[in-house]
Amino acid sequence: MSVRREENISKSFLTILAVIIVEASITKVSSKGQVVIPTNVRRAADIKKGEKLLAVALGDVIILKKIFDKTFEETVKPIWVRVRQIGLTEEDINALIEEAKAKGST
């Protein structure tokens, strides 16, 4: 993949973040591996006690998606729709994952 192509993918990824992020906060992992989702983030995503979340790791990025008693494919479909609207391909996503893995191993 050329340097220019990688720059375009990284800019596209930042565009995704700029469009999607409404609320962000810092939290930490407990000794039991638990993470508290800050109140402002729970409110922005309308997450209620007892609701199920799908956790997806993309390198060092973790995505939490509410699950509404759907299949895995039905749950992740809106994620892929949004990614394609922004213009990223599956190859772009794979390249971003590889980039994150490479950065994580250095």
pLDDT digits (tens, 9 = 90+) for 43-70: 888 899 999 898 888 788 888 888 876 6
Answer with the residue of higher pLDDT: 25 or 98. 25
Helix H or strand E encompassing 56: strand 53-58
Instruction: Report helix, strand or coil for 58.
Output: strand
What pTM value is reported for the model?
0.47
Exposure string (b/e) for 34-56, b if CB count within 10 Å is 16 or more? Answer: eeeeeeebbeebeeeeeeeeeee
Identify the band that residue 5 occupies on the pLDDT scale cut at 50, 70 and 90: low
DSSP class of residue 14 equals H
